[in-house]
Amino acid sequence: PIGVAGQIIPWNFPLVIYAWKVGPALACGNTVVLKTAEQTPLSALYVSKLFHEAGLPPGVLNVISGFGPTIGAALASHMDVDKLAFTGSTDTGKIVLGLSAKSNLKPVTLELGGKSPFIVCEDADVDKAAELAHSALFFNQGQCCCAGSRTFVHECVYDEFVEKARARALKRVVGDPFKKGVEQGPQID
């Protein structure tokens, strides 16, 4: 065990990333202090309550909610946190890394924003490629670090691909996410 594992999770996949961070830390015998995103604290708070109801001793799993510049910074710079894991933007990751280094030089694991490529080769099924590129870009309203936000298309199929990708994007149904057939609702920020 490392000791106290500080963890900062983002708003866009609050339950999945909670599980990715909390499960291994607890399985390795660590205690956890987890900071939720200020936009999505409820799922982490609820699952942590279930852990406690199942018999996890008090103080082993601790969840705090609040804003990054205050709560996140306090967690990253705290001398009693032995390791920090952060998922979020590259700019914030740099801040978290700096704060961790200035305190007790704790090890830090960063999962930061990316620019995932989507590559369409000259022998691709262009209809399928346009649909897959659309899904890669707009999954979770496009608000995730692995969105296919860079599309590289071979020049032989470029014009056809652009036409089909554009047509698919124009058909995207935006509206109330609770209504049937709606593909995209409001953005977080």
Same domain, 102 and 128: no
The C-alpha atoms of residue 185 and residue 173 are separated, in whole angstroms, by 9
Residue 142, pLDDT above cutoff 70: no
Does 186 fall in a domain?
Answer: no
In this structure, is residue 105 part of a structural domain? yes
- Looking at the fold, whether 87 and 144 belong to one and the same domain comes out as no
pLDDT of residue 186: 79
Indicate whether 105 and 150 sit together in one domain.
no
Point out which residues pair with 110 in neighbouring strands: 86
**167 and 149 within one domain:** yes
Query: Rounded to whole angstroms, how far apart are CA atoms 52 and 29?
Result: 16
Q: How many domains does the chain have?
A: 2
Residue type, 100: S
How far is residue 32's CA from residue 186's CA, in Å, rounded to a whole number? Answer: 32
Q: Please state which of the ranges 31-40, 57-66, 120-129, 136-145 shows the lowest mean pLDDT.
A: 136-145
Report, as residue numbers or ranges, the catalytic residues: 111
Note whether 62 and 146 are same-domain residues: no
Instruction: Convert the pLDDT of each residue in 16-30 to its tens digit.
Output: 999 999 999 999 999
Residue 145 clears pLDDT 90, i.e. is over it: no
pLDDT for residue 184: 82
Q: Is residue 97, in this structure, part of any structural domain at all?
A: yes
Res. 185 pLDDT band, cuts 50 70 90: confident
Identify whether residues 125 and 144 lie together within a single domain: yes
The three state secondary structure string of 26-65 is HHCCCEEEEECCCCCCHHHHHHHHHHHHCCCCCCCEEEEC
User: How sure is the predictor about 138, in pLDDT bands with cuts at 50, 70 and 90?
Assistant: confident
Q: Are residues 12 and 34 in the same domain?
A: yes
User: Do 139 and 84 share a structural domain?
Assistant: no
Q: Are residues 15 and 104 in the same domain?
A: yes
Q: Is residue 78 a part of any domain in this protein? A: yes
Give me 140's structure tokens.
Answer: 């979770």
The answer to whether residues 39 and 108 belong to one domain is yes
Average pLDDT over residues 38-47: 94
Q: Is residue 32 part of a domain?
A: yes
Instruction: Locate 129 and state its tokens.
Output: 């490629």
Tell me, yes or no, whether 70 and 103 share the same domain: yes
**Boundaries of domain holding 141:** 117-171
Residue 47 placed within a domain: yes
pLDDT at 143: 66
Which residue, 112, 136, 152, sits at the end of a domain? 112
> Does 185 fall in a domain?
no
Question: What single-letter DSSP state applies at residue 120?
Answer: E
108 and 123 in a common domain = no
Q: Which two tokens stand for residue 101?
A: 């280094």
